[in-house]
Amino acid sequence: MSHCELEELTEHINSRISKVKNLVHLRAIGNDPEKRMIFSKIATEVSGMAALVSQFEKCVAEEKASLKQLEELHELVEEDLQNAIHMSENMPSNMPASASAVKEEVVPVQKENKPPPKDPAAAKKGRKPIKEMEFITVHEFDSIPAYMKGRVTYDQLNSAVRSFNKAVTEKYKILHQSPKTLSSASRKLYDRFKENETGETRGHFFVVEADLREFGEVKMDKRFLGLLSMLRHCQRIKELRGGGLIRYQLL
């Protein structure tokens, strides 16, 4: 037997002897009626403490369950907060109006069956109000193929819509005037606009590159031509070619 095994055996025997001595001592004390009463009280107190410990453990388990629920709720709130921050930072600058809202803006409220006021000059010449392109919706922007969009953002595409509308508005403001009332510079523009018209564009609103540069204040480079291609993909415009010009007609 090795030295370590002998020490372990000795320690085990001594421990058993110590327990036997304690039992003998307690047995002797247990024969004393006064001490037996004290032991009985101690046993009662220990039993009460065991019940309290059991209740305490139950409360701890309930608090752990509540803590777990709070942690899950915190994760949900944190996720909602991040979504709200993302929406706030990526809010589109142009929110397309609903059809009902557009209708309310276009059609005036009629009272007492009176017709809405009309523009005498426009009614006399049968002119249509100047049409404008509707802004691109987020859904439409997402539907554009990635190869076509490249790095163009939603706001950049709708900025092109604003430039296009500005060119159309300025052009047709001149065309809706009588040539006799125009200045020399505006009369030259009027004549140019008329020369650009064809049978296919009659009754429609369109612009050419010169109109976009002059009134839309854009640079007709590869980037802007790409934006026009995206507007064509979203069925906002169509291209009409002829006579060395590309006519961008509103749909």
Q: CA 90 to CA 84: how far, in whole Å?
A: 10
| Amino acid at the residue 153 | T
Q: What is the DSSP code string of 10-64?
A: HHHHHHHHHHHHHHHHHHHHHTSHHHHHHHHHHHHHHHHHHHHHHHHHHHHHHHH
Residues of the chain with pLDDT under 50: 98-119, 121, 123
For residue 161, the tally of other CB atoms under 10 A from its CB is: 20
- Cα dist. 175→79, 82, 125, 169, 232 in Å? 55, 51, 12, 10, 25
Model confidence over 227-244: pLDDT tens digits? 999 999 999 999 999 999
Is residue 118 classed as helix, strand or coil in its secondary structure? Answer: coil
Beta bridge partners of 242: 245
Lookup: tokens for 40 = 């009985």
Buried b (16+ CB within 10 A) or exposed e, 58-69: eeeeeeeeeeee
> What strand order describes the sheet that includes 245-250?
206-207, 245-250, 237-242
Q: Could you tell me if 138 and 149 are in contact, meaning their C-beta atoms sit under 8 angstroms apart?
A: no
Q: Could you tell me if 174 and 127 are in contact, meaning their C-beta atoms sit under 8 angstroms apart?
A: no
Backbone angles phi, psi at 68, to 5 degrees: -65, -40
What's residue 99's pLDDT? Answer: 43
What's residue 101's pLDDT? Answer: 44
Beta-strand relationship, 237-242 and 245-250: antiparallel
25: burial class by Cβ within 10 Å (0-12, 13-18, 19+)? exposed
Give the architecture-level CATH label for domain 120-250: Orthogonal Bundle (1.10)
Model confidence over 17-66: pLDDT tens digits? 888 887 777 766 667 777 777 777 787 878 787 887 888 788 888 888 88
Is residue 82 classed as helix, strand or coil in its secondary structure? Answer: helix
Whole-prediction pTM value?
A: 0.54
Domain locations in the chain as residue ranges: 3-87, 120-250
- What single-letter DSSP state applies at residue 205? -
Q: CA 248 to CA 136: how far, in whole Å?
A: 17
What's residue 104's pLDDT? Answer: 42
